[in-house]
Structure 1
Amino acid sequence: MNKNILSSSEKPTRTPESQALEPAKRNALTRLVRCLFAERILNPDALLWPVEHSQAWLPLWSSRKILHFTNLRRLPANTMLNHGDIEVLDEKGQRRRLDDPADLIAEISTEWSVEPAPDGVARLLSDIESSMENDALVRCHRRDWTASLKQDIETAGKSGFISYLNATLPSHQAAMVLDQWGSLEGHPFYPTWKAKPGLSAAEVKALSPECGARVNLRIAALRKDWAYAETMPHVDSYNGWFSTSYPELWYAWTEALAEEGRVPQDWLPLPIHSWHLEHFVRREFANEIASGVLVVEGPDIVTIPSMSFRTMLPDRDEPQPFIKLPVAIWMTSEQRTLQAKSIHMGPRLSTLISDILAADDDIRGKLEFFREELGAILHDPDTGDEHPGRFLSVVYREIGALARNDGWMPVTVAALLAASPVNGRPLICELIGPNGGDKSAAAEFFRSYVDVVLQPTMAMYLLYGIAFEAHQQNSTILFDPSGRPKRLVIRDFGDGRSFAPLFEARGYRLKPFTRAGILPTTFNDDIRLVRSFVIDACLVCHLHEVALCLNEQYGLTEAWSILRQGIEETFDRLRPRMLSDEFWLEERNAFLKLPWPTRSVLRMHLERYRDYRVEHELPNPLAETP
C-alpha cells in the first residue's frame, strides 16, 4: 500500500454489521458521484481521462487539490459509475482515500454549481447516513434470506428463483415475493435511497418490504359525512365495493361498530397503517377521535407491503385488492402522504384509460393496468378542507393483473435487476436463457423487452396525451413460460400527467384536479412537462437502467442502438394515427435527438425541495447511436 495514502476511517473489528456497512458506503458513494456529474453539480467536462479510461482526475481549483477516481466508468447519457477508490491529492502530493460520503462532500462542496439551502448539506448528510445504516441492516437480513431461499430452490429441484416461485405459490403471491425481493436497491440512483429517519432498526426490519415484512392494518371507521369518496363509474358505493372485495373484514368491521351501538351505514371503513396509527393518527387526530368523527378501534388485517412501502396487499391465498395508504414517515427525503390529488385523479385517470382501451384494439392487446377503482379522504363538511386528510386517506387498486391463470409470470421491473439468490446475477439473466444465456440471447431478449415497454407507453402518450410514470417500481412485465416478455402492466395514476388537447381531440374528457398549492397534472398549453415525465420514468429510470445492466452482464454495448431502433419503429407505426406530421416530427426529435430532461434529485434535496419539478438535461444516448 502506498505510504502516502491515508484512509479517512479506521477499520474496527469486522462484525457482520460492519461488513455490511462497507458495501453500503460504497453504494452511497456510487450514487452520490453519479448524481453529482449527471446533474452537473460537478462539471463532468472537467474530468481528465488517460488513454485507459478506468481512471479519471478532477481538479478542485478553489482548494488546490485533485480528486482521483481509480475506476470510474463513463457510459451513455453522462452516466458515471464509480467502481473503485476515490482519493484526494493535496498540493504536497499526499493522498487521502475518501471512504465516506461526508468526506467527499467536505472536499468538493466549494466546487458546486448550485447554492444549497442553509441546512441543505447537513440534511443531505443525515439522510445519507440513515440510508447507509438501513442499507447495512437490510443486507444482513438479505444474506440470511438468500441462504434460506437457495436451499429451498435446490430442494425443489429448480434452477432459478422465478421458476421456483411460480411452481410453488399462487401467481399473486409469487409476484409479491419478487416485488419485495426487488426492493433492496430502491431508486436506481437516488442518493438517499434508504433514508427512514425516526425509525428504529427493529421498525425498519418489521415494516420494510426488502425484509419480507408482514404489516397489520387497522380498519378504522370514518363518519360518512366527514369523507369524500371518488369512484370509477362501475362502483355503486364505497361500502358496497368494500363489502364485496373484503367480505370477512367487512363482517368483522360491521360487528365491531354494532357492538358500540353505531350504524354501519353512517360510516366508511378506513384502513390505517399500524405504525401510522400509533405514532401519528392517535396524536394528530385526537380531536376527531374524541368528537366521534373517527373510530380507531376495529379489526386488523395482515398485509404484504409492496416496493413502495405503503401500498399493501392482503396476505391471503385468495387475491384481494391492494390498499395504498399515507404513512407519516420520511422516506427518500419526503413524507409519504396521500394527497387529495391522488384520491381524485386515480379513479378518474383509471376511467379514462379503461375507456380508451375498450375502444383501441391495438393498445388493449399490449397493456394491462392496475385500476384505482376508488379512494377516500377526510373532508371537512363545513369548510371542504381536505389538506389534513393527506394523512387520513386511502386508494384501492385492483389485483387482477397479478392473479393469473394463463401461465404468464408478472415481475416488477426492479426485481429483474436484483441479484438472484441462486447465483448472485441479476434475475433478468434467468429469463434470457439457460445459465444466463449469451450476448446474442441478451440482444434478442432486449429487443422484445423494448418493444413490450415502448409500444403501449408511447401510444398512450403520442395518441392520447397520457404519460405513464413507467419507472422500475410502477412497471410490471408479464413473461411467458419460456421467459419471453409479452405485455406491460402499469400502476399508480394519482400523480400521472396528461395533455388534454390530445385526448379531447379523440372525444375523451378528464376532470382535472385544481387546488391552490398543489402542482397540476393535467396540461393544456405546453406538452413538455408531460413529455419529460415519460422520458424520465420510462427511458432514464427504466430502459436505460436495463441497458446498463445488460451491458455490464453481457458486454451488450449495442443496447442503446436496440433502444433507438425500438423508438424509431414505434414512431413509424404510430405516424398514421398521430394528429399531424408536424407533431410527429417534433416528438420524434425530442426522443431521439434532443437532450433528455430528468429530475434533479440531488439538487432538489440540497435546495430543500423549493422546486419539486427542477430538472437537468442528459446527453441523449441515442443521438449518436447508429
Structure 2
Amino acid sequence: MHRPPTAEAEVAEELAAVRPGLLPRFTAALPGARAAVLSRLWRALAHEPLPWITGREPAAGGLVLRLRDGRRLAGPDADPYRTDAYVTAVRCEESEYADPARLMTDLAVPGAEGFAAELGHSVASLALSRAGRTSERDGWPERGWEWEQRVVDGHPFHPNCRSRPGFSVAEQLAYGPEHGPVVPLARVPVPAAECLVAGRWPAQLRDGGRLLLPVHPWQAAHVLKGAGESAGGRLDAHPLMSLRTLAVPGGPHVKTALSARLTSSVRDISVASIAASATLSEFGEVLVARGEGLLHITRTLGAATAHSPDLAAVLRESPDQYAAPGERVVPVAALATTALPGSPGWTGRLARLALRVGLGALELGVALEAHGQNLLVVLSPAGEPLRLVYRDLADLRVSPARLARHGVPVPELPARMVTDDVTVLRRKLFGSLVAGALAQVAGSGPALRDALETAVRDLPDTPDLAALCAEPLPAKALTLMRLSPRRPGDQWAALPNPLRT
C-alpha cells in the first residue's frame, strides 16, 4: 500500500532546496523531536479525560492504559509536570512506537487522523527549530526579544508544541523567532473612516486620512493575497515567542492578525477584542493600583481593525520599560533556557511572588491567565525575582461579586470574560500559573512540590489558597480539545496536586 510522504520527509525535501546546509542538523534533531512530542502526548494519554481510555493502572516501572477496544498501551510513569523528553517509546500490544504520529494513526480513535497529521508537523517543525536556532544558552541577553527567541521548543505540555501547518520551510526560517530573523511587516493603508480604532493610533502609522495597519508578511501573502502589501512601506521587527507578536526596535510590541492554526488556535484578532482593548487597558491600571507594587501590566497604546479579524493590529508597551538599570524583564517561559542562580530556594521565591500577585488579584476579582508567555518576571542584577509584568489582558476572567466587595466598578467587558463561577475563576489562574508557568520552570512534580511548599507558607489564608493546596490542579486538556474540535470552549483535566503527594 502506498503511504503519502510524512511531514518529516516533506520538510527534509523543502530544506534541501532552500537551506541544504541545515539538512544534517535537521536529520540529527529528529529523534529528540519525536521524543519531545511523544512525551507531551503520553502526558495527555495518562492524565486527560479521553473517552476511549477506560482505565489506568501502575505496572512494573511504568503505566498501562486500557483502551475501550480492549488494547493495552504501556509506557513509563507519567509525571504531568515533567518537561524533558523522557518518553522515547511506548508499546501497544506487540508494537512499539517512537513516532507519535504513527502511534495516533494506529490508535484510530475518533479525530485521530487529523491530529496525527498535526503531530507529524509538530515533530518536523520542532526538529527544524532545533536545527536552525540562533540563540545560545550562555550569558544573559540584554533585550527582551532576545530572551523570547531562546524559547525553541514551544509549549511545554502541548503535543502540537511546534505545529505550523500552512507554513513552508522557507516561511518558518523567515518568521520563526527561534531562527532569529528580522521580519518586514507590511503597512497596509486603509481609510480611517473604514476602521474601528481604540486608544490612540500613532502619527507614524497614519498617512493623511488613512491608517497604516501593520500586517504580517505571511498574512499579506496567504490571506490578503498581497493586497496593499507594499503601498505603505515596511516596519522591521523582531518576532516574539508567539510568532505573530513582534518587537519594533525602540518602539512598541505589535500584535498582528495571523489567520493560521498555531499549536491549537487560529490566530486572528477579533473586532470585539479591538473594541474592548482600551477598556481592558484602563482596567489593568486599576488592578495595578490596588496591588502591592509587585505587578506591572503593559498598556495597550492603540488598536485598530478594518472591521475584519484578518486585518487588524494591536500596539502594546514593551515590557522592557518596567526594568530599572541593571534589571531584566524575562518571560517565565524563557527561564528554563538560561542558567539562573543555583540556590535551592530560587524557584520557591519565584512561586511565592507569582502566587502572592495571582491570588491577590483573584481575591480582588480578577483571574489572570498567567502562563509562561503572558507572565514575565523582573530580575535583579543578581538574578533574584523582584516584580512581575503581565501582558495581553484579552483572556482575563472577572468576577462582579468579588469586585463589588472591594468597591471596584465592573468595566464593560465581553460577556465571556465576566463570571462569578469560582471553578471557572480558579481554573483560569491555577491552570495557567501553577500547572503551566511554575510547572514549566520547576520541570517535574517533585521540584514543583518543593517550590509550592516554600511559597504557600507565607501567603494570606484565603479560600482560594485552601483550594490550591487541597484540590486537584486544573489544566487544559489540550489533546482532548484537539480530538473534539466541534466542541467549543476549554476542556479540563484534573492533575494530581503536588502538595498532596
Deviations 1:319-351 (A, max 9, x none): 211111101222113221111232133322221
% identical equivalent positions? 25
SS of residue in 2 equivalent to 1:492: coil
- Partner residue, 1:520: 416
Partners of 1:308 and 1:471 lie apart in 2 by: 12
Partners of 2:176 and 2:317 lie apart in 1 by: 22
- Partner residue, 1:88: 92
Shift of 1:186: 1.1
- Partner residue, 1:312: 246
Partners of 2:346 and 2:82 lie apart in 1 by: 25
- Partner residue, 2:139: 161
* Counterpart amino acid of residue 112 in structure 2: V
- Partner residue, 2:340: 431
Aligned length: 481
* Counterpart amino acid of residue 341 in structure 2: I
SS of residue in 1 equivalent to 2:218: helix
Instruction: Give the root-mean-square deviation of aligned CA atoms.
Output: 2.9
* Correspondence for 1:567 among 456, 462, 465: 456
- Partner residue, 2:158: 190
SS of residue in 2 equivalent to 1:335: strand
Partners of 2:118 and 2:175 lie apart in 1 by: 18
The alpha-carbon distance between structure 1 residues 270 and 58, as it changes in their structure 2 partners (threshold 3 A), is: closer
Instruction: Work out whether residues 368 and 401 of structure 1, in 8 Å CA contact, stay in contact via their aligned partners in 2.
Output: no
The alpha-carbon distance between structure 1 residues 276 and 59, as it changes in their structure 2 partners (threshold 3 A), is: closer
Deviations 1:89-142 (A, max 9, x none): 44xxxxx321212332245446xxxxx3xxx22210111111111111111112
Partners of 2:481 and 2:68 lie apart in 1 by: 25
Is 1:375 equivalent to 2:299 in the alignment? no
The alpha-carbon distance between structure 1 residues 592 and 609, as it changes in their structure 2 partners (threshold 3 A), is: farther
Shift of 1:302: 0.5
Instruction: Work out whether residues 321 and 399 of structure 1, in 8 Å CA contact, stay in contact via their aligned partners in 2.
Output: yes
* Correspondence for 2:196 among 206, 211, 228: 228
Instruction: Work out whether residues 115 and 482 of structure 2, in 8 Å CA contact, stay in contact via their aligned partners in 1.
Output: yes
1:376-415 map, 5 Å: 376-379=304-307, 389-399=308-318, 401-402=320-321, 404-415=323-334
* Counterpart amino acid of residue 432 in structure 1: P
1:149-548 map, 5 Å: 149=136, 160-162=138-140, 165-166=141-142, 174-182=143-151, 184-231=152-199, 237-238=200-201, 242-243=202-203, 249-250=204-205, 254=207, 264=208, 266-282=209-225, 297-314=231-248, 316=249, 319-358=250-289, 360=290, 363-379=291-307, 389-399=308-318, 401-402=320-321, 404-418=323-337, 427=338, 430-433=339-342, 441-442=343-344, 444-463=345-364, 465-514=365-414, 520-523=416-419, 525-548=420-443
Instruction: Work out whether residues 246 and 255 of structure 2, in 8 Å CA contact, stay in contact via their aligned partners in 1.
Output: yes
Partners of 2:253 and 2:224 lie apart in 1 by: 21
SS of residue in 2 equivalent to 1:19: helix
* Counterpart amino acid of residue 86 in structure 1: V
Instruction: Work out whether residues 303 and 313 of structure 2, in 8 Å CA contact, stay in contact via their aligned partners in 1.
Output: yes
Deviations 1:514-539 (A, max 9, x none): 4xxxx71122x423212210011001
* Correspondence for 2:112 among 113, 118, 121: 121
Partners of 2:413 and 2:396 lie apart in 1 by: 11
Partners of 2:86 and 2:318 lie apart in 1 by: 39
Instruction: Work out whether residues 35 and 85 of structure 2, in 8 Å CA contact, stay in contact via their aligned partners in 1.
Output: no
Partners of 2:346 and 2:454 lie apart in 1 by: 14
- Partner residue, 1:35: 44
Q: Which has the larger radius of gyration?
A: 1
Deviations 1:451-488 (A, max 9, x none): 2211111111112x112111111111111111111111
Shift of 1:77: 6.8
* Counterpart amino acid of residue 270 in structure 1: L
- Partner residue, 1:105: 104
Partners of 2:465 and 2:218 lie apart in 1 by: 47
The alpha-carbon distance between structure 1 residues 212 and 77, as it changes in their structure 2 partners (threshold 3 A), is: closer
Partners of 2:105 and 2:319 lie apart in 1 by: 50
The alpha-carbon distance between structure 1 residues 138 and 300, as it changes in their structure 2 partners (threshold 3 A), is: same
Instruction: Work out whether residues 53 and 68 of structure 2, in 8 Å CA contact, stay in contact via their aligned partners in 1.
Output: no
* Counterpart amino acid of residue 521 in structure 1: M
| TM-score, scaled to structure 2 | 0.88
The alpha-carbon distance between structure 1 residues 312 and 594, as it changes in their structure 2 partners (threshold 3 A), is: same
Instruction: Work out whether residues 77 and 619 of structure 1, in 8 Å CA contact, stay in contact via their aligned partners in 2.
Output: no
* Correspondence for 2:475 among 590, 594, 598: 598
* Counterpart amino acid of residue 602 in structure 1: T
Shift of 1:609: 4.4
Deviations 1:365-407 (A, max 9, x none): 211121123211223xxxxxxxxx1111111111254464421
Partners of 1:331 and 1:205 lie apart in 2 by: 15
Instruction: Work out whether residues 130 and 153 of structure 2, in 8 Å CA contact, stay in contact via their aligned partners in 1.
Output: no
Instruction: Work out whether residues 477 and 485 of structure 1, in 8 Å CA contact, stay in contact via their aligned partners in 2.
Output: yes
- Partner residue, 1:16: 25
Partners of 1:305 and 1:299 lie apart in 2 by: 18
Partners of 1:594 and 1:78 lie apart in 2 by: 20
- Partner residue, 2:3: none
The alpha-carbon distance between structure 1 residues 26 and 227, as it changes in their structure 2 partners (threshold 3 A), is: same
Partners of 1:44 and 1:73 lie apart in 2 by: 18
* Counterpart amino acid of residue 212 in structure 1: G
* Counterpart amino acid of residue 375 in structure 2: S
Instruction: Work out whether residues 74 and 81 of structure 1, in 8 Å CA contact, stay in contact via their aligned partners in 2.
Output: no
Ranges in structure 1 where 5+ consecutive residues have no aligned partner: 1-8, 91-95, 111-115, 151-159, 167-173, 232-236, 244-248, 255-263, 290-294, 380-388, 419-426, 434-440, 552-556, 573-583
Shift of 1:219: 1.8
* Counterpart amino acid of residue 102 in structure 2: D
The alpha-carbon distance between structure 1 residues 345 and 564, as it changes in their structure 2 partners (threshold 3 A), is: farther
Instruction: Work out whether residues 102 and 125 of structure 1, in 8 Å CA contact, stay in contact via their aligned partners in 2.
Output: yes
SS of residue in 2 equivalent to 1:417: helix
* Counterpart amino acid of residue 439 in structure 2: H
- Partner residue, 2:17: none
* Counterpart amino acid of residue 322 in structure 1: H
SS of residue in 2 equivalent to 1:353: helix
* Counterpart amino acid of residue 570 in structure 1: L
Instruction: Work out whether residues 323 and 378 of structure 2, in 8 Å CA contact, stay in contact via their aligned partners in 1.
Output: no
Deviations 1:121-172 (A, max 9, x none): 2210111111111111111112xx36xx58xxxxxxxxx421xx33xxxxxx
